[in-house]
Amino acid sequence: MNSPIGVEMQSQIWQPVLPSHYLRASKNIVAGFLQGQELALWRSEAGAVQAWENRCPHRGTRLTIGRILNDQLSCAYHGWEFDTRGGCTAIPANPSLPLPKQLRVKSFPVAEADGMVWVSAAAGNAAASQALPPTSTGALAFFCRSLGIRAPMGDVATELNAQGFKATGAQTWEGTLAGQAATVLLNEATSLRTFAHVWLSEEPAAAALSDVLAKCRLFRRDVEARASSRSS
Amino acid sequence: MTFQCSDKTILDDWLTVGPLTRTEGKTEALPYRTQLLGAEVEVWKDVGGKLAARTGQRSLLIQECYGYMWICPSGAPRKDLFALPEYSQPGRRIVDCEGIGVAVSGLRMVENFLDMGHFPYVHAHYLGEVPQTEVATYDVSVDETADEIWATNCRFFQPKTSKSATTGLDVQYRYRVVQPMGAVLYKTAFPRPGEMDAIGLFVQPHDEESITAYCLLAYYDDVSTETDLVGFQHTIFGQDKPILENQVPKKMPLRPGIEVPTRCDAMSVAFRRWLASRGTTYGAIA
């Protein structure tokens, strides 16, 4: 299969899901998307990012509406607790019963690089044996925003190339937005939805940032218009 | 318009389309309109005051009971509407709490209504409180004659069990599944600890993944205003709504192994097994 966007094979496995700074140690739970899989992401007290299927194994409740208690994720529905390996450590309604050993939340391999949390959709060892996403030399000093785009990732990459961006690494494009050096990382959320995480080489003045944000919105409008005209 | 449902166990049931008050001032020309099983249904009272209903050009079998309207979508009910003798029992106060829309399968709604384990988490300071989280073992039985499921000898410590409660109370519960889209619970009446209040949950499935959940109280409470009783119930349902709308998938899996129960889920397990054995598929993943 030809690869018009010039990404390496491993990019199809590792996806940049969130900026790392979204996750504060043992504080919050954030939703992420990975090629159709909904994720619940959080960071342990020790700093390790957890990327879990966003679904409690008990009654299917999204774990993102739960909370972090004592370095464990507690489900909002019945308070079941899961430790940093995804294993169930408490069923409060039956405190005297032994916990089922096999009971765990499905978790995905995680790496942090370039200020992003990268998650692999590949199961278990296949993912662990993959090289980590390469570190780019790009402009990653200032996080600008994440753009949610209603278009397949291939369309977004095509538009980035058309606007003079160069693919420089896994899911990574470098170029300029409204005169600012920018790095764009693409996250294939679903086959029809893409997140573009936009970083700049430095924090711009307010007026320049406003221009970059306007450029981002135009970019999204153009990609979505092209995607919807093709599908209709 | 036809019902978007091929599940006979649901088509042959009596399904609510809301409290009777919805037909006030409604006529055949200007009927009350609502959605049931994916079809638009029109309801009105004819000149003689008799309820009538149709979907498209087709007349529907409808009856009025417990202050609610009930339609049998197939026109061939498998049995009479479930019994709720508390509705006409002297000394009880009947309060209609109307409905709340929830984007979930009706089966998940009913399962939530039968569940004590969520009280300290979803209804903290009302129906439960950490660390009193344990659900004591209770009994589950199937009434083959009435085709209903019962959970009995249930109890749970509740900080504020109802509007009239002024202290915490070890509350006794009995739960009763009357049909896939309906249940009744009985719980210790705070002002009359020897008696049990009754709460009916009547689910109107708009489609497989969206419902209106109606609630009817048959209470021993001479103190609270009607507004307070309704408000309390809406507070409780309002706490359940975001939980229910975040269950994935929205339809309820019936096969064991997809979702993992624990001992306190005995009623939920019996409910799922009962649904599977009678072949209910609407709002379910078989």
Residue A132, pLDDT score: 63
Residue A126, pLDDT score: 57
In chain A, CATH 3.30.70 sits at: 142-231
The domain boundary, picked from B72, B93, B123, lies at: B72
Do residues A10 and A170 lie in contact, with contact meaning Cβ atoms separated by under 8 Å?
yes
Q: Looking at the structure, do residues B47 and B114 belong to the same domain, yes or no?
A: no
Within a domain: residue B79? Answer: no
Nearest residue in chain A measured CA to CA from B115: A78
Q: State mean pLDDT over B183-197.
A: 93
Nearest residue in chain A measured CA to CA from B243: A77
Bridge-partner residues for B202, per DSSP? B182, B214
Q: Looking at the structure, do residues B43 and B127 belong to the same domain, yes or no?
A: no
Tokens of B254: 């019936």
Neighbour count for residue B25 (Cβ, 10 Å): 9
Within a domain: residue B47? Answer: yes
Would the CB atoms of A93 and B117 count as touching at under 8 Å?
yes
Tokens of A132: 């980590």
Query: pTM of the entire structure?
Result: 0.93
* Block residue for tokens 């406003």: A210
CATH number of the domain bearing residue B208 = 3.90.380.10
Within a domain: residue B77? Answer: no
Tokens of A187: 């996250």
Residue of A59, A82, A96 to mutate, interface with B, max B Cβ within 10 Å: A59
Asked if the C-beta of A97 comes within 8 angstroms of chain B's C-beta atoms, the answer is yes
The interface predicted TM-score (ipTM) is 0.96
CA–CA distance, B282 with B37 (Å, rounded to integer): 9
Q: Looking at the structure, do residues B109 and B246 belong to the same domain, yes or no?
A: yes
Would the CB atoms of A77 and B243 count as touching at under 8 Å?
yes
Would the CB atoms of B134 and A97 count as touching at under 8 Å?
no
Tokens of A7: 């990404």
Do residues B220 and B104 lie in contact, with contact meaning Cβ atoms separated by under 8 Å?
no
Closest to A105 measured CA to CA, from B213, B260, B54: B260
Do residues A73 and A66 lie in contact, with contact meaning Cβ atoms separated by under 8 Å?
yes
Q: Looking at the structure, do residues B171 and B229 belong to the same domain, yes or no?
A: yes
Would the CB atoms of B247 and A38 count as touching at under 8 Å?
no
The domain boundary, picked from B33, B49, B72, lies at: B72
Q: What angle do CA A204, A205, A209 make, to 5 degrees?
A: 65
Residue-wise pLDDT for B262-284, tens only, equals: 999 999 999 999 999 999 999 99
CATH number of the domain bearing residue B23 = 2.20.25.680
Asked if the C-beta of A103 comes within 8 angstroms of chain B's C-beta atoms, the answer is yes
Q: Looking at the structure, do residues B111 and B168 belong to the same domain, yes or no?
A: yes
Residues of B in contact with A54 (CB under 8 A): 248
- Residues B110-120, buried b or exposed e (16+ Cβ, 10 A)? bbbbbbbbbbb
For A16, the 3-state DSSP assignment is: strand
Do residues B114 and B173 lie in contact, with contact meaning Cβ atoms separated by under 8 Å?
no
Would the CB atoms of A76 and B122 count as touching at under 8 Å?
yes
Residue-wise pLDDT for B217-250, tens only, equals: 999 998 999 999 999 999 999 999 999 999 999 9
CA–CA distance, B109 with B216 (Å, rounded to integer): 15
Residues of B in contact with A59 (CB under 8 A): 111, 247, 259
Do residues A74 and A81 lie in contact, with contact meaning Cβ atoms separated by under 8 Å?
yes
Q: Looking at the structure, do residues B15 and B112 belong to the same domain, yes or no?
A: no
Q: Looking at the structure, do residues B52 and B95 belong to the same domain, yes or no?
A: no
Residue of B243, B263, B264 lying closest to A76 (CB–CB): B243
The domain boundary, picked from B72, B99, B115, lies at: B72
Residue B137, pLDDT score: 97
Whether residue B180 is predicted with pLDDT greater than 50 in this model: the reply is: yes
Asked if the C-beta of B130 comes within 8 angstroms of chain A's C-beta atoms, the answer is yes
CA–CA distance, B226 with B268 (Å, rounded to integer): 32
Would the CB atoms of B243 and A91 count as touching at under 8 Å?
no
Work out the burial of residue A221: count CB atoms within 10 Å of its CB; fewer than 13 is exposed, 13-18 middle, 19 or more buried. Answer: exposed
Q: Looking at the structure, do residues B199 and B145 belong to the same domain, yes or no?
A: yes
Closest to B151 measured CA to CA, from B107, B118, B188, B183: B183
CA–CA distance, A181 with A116 (Å, rounded to integer): 18
Q: State mean pLDDT over B24-42.
A: 97
- Residues B100, B101, B103, B107: what is their CA dihedral angle, to the nearest 10 degrees? 60
Q: Looking at the structure, do residues B42 and B126 belong to the same domain, yes or no?
A: no
Residues of B in contact with A78 (CB under 8 A): 117-118, 121
Residue-wise pLDDT for B36-89, tens only, equals: 999 999 999 998 889 999 999 999 999 999 999 999 999 999 999 999 999 999
Q: Looking at the structure, do residues B209 and B93 belong to the same domain, yes or no?
A: yes
Beta-strand runs (E) in A21-75 = 30-34, 37-43, 49-53, 67-69, 72-74
Q: Looking at the structure, do residues B140 and B42 belong to the same domain, yes or no?
A: no
Nearest residue in chain B measured CA to CA from A76: B121
Would the CB atoms of B117 and A38 count as touching at under 8 Å?
no
- Domain A14-130 falls under CATH 1.10.8.640: no
Q: B-contacting residues of A 149-178, CB under 8 Å?
A: none
Asked if the C-beta of A104 comes within 8 angstroms of chain B's C-beta atoms, the answer is no
Tokens of B145: 């004659």
Asked if the C-beta of B247 comes within 8 angstroms of chain A's C-beta atoms, the answer is yes
Helices vs. strands in chain A: H and E counts, helices first: 3, 16
Whether residue B91 is predicted with pLDDT greater than 50 in this model: the reply is: yes
Q: Looking at the structure, do residues B35 and B110 belong to the same domain, yes or no?
A: no
DSSP structure string for B114-168: T-STTHHHHSBTTTBBTTB------EEEEETTTTEEEEEEEEEEES--STT--S-
Question: In total, how many domains does chain B have?
Answer: 2
- Domain A142-231 falls under CATH 3.30.70: yes
Residue A75, pLDDT score: 98
Residue of A65, A77, A79 lying closest to B133 (CB–CB): A79
10-residue mean pLDDT series, chain A (232 residues): 40 83 97 96 97 98 98 98 96 94 92 90 61 62 95 97 93 94 95 96 95 97 92 70
DSSP letter (8 states) at residue B30: S
* Block residue for tokens 């409905």: B99
CA distance B213 to chain A (A): 19
Tokens of B79: 């049995």
Within a domain: residue B3? Answer: no
Within a domain: residue B80? Answer: no
Peptide bond into B249 cis (omega under 30): yes
What integer best gives the mean pLDDT of chain B? 96
In chain A, CATH 2.102.10.10 sits at: 14-130
Q: Which domain covers residue B20, as residue numbers?
A: 8-72
Neighbour count for residue B81 (Cβ, 10 Å): 18
Within a domain: residue B1? Answer: no
The stretches of chain A forming alpha helices (DSSP H) are 124-128, 153-162, 206-231
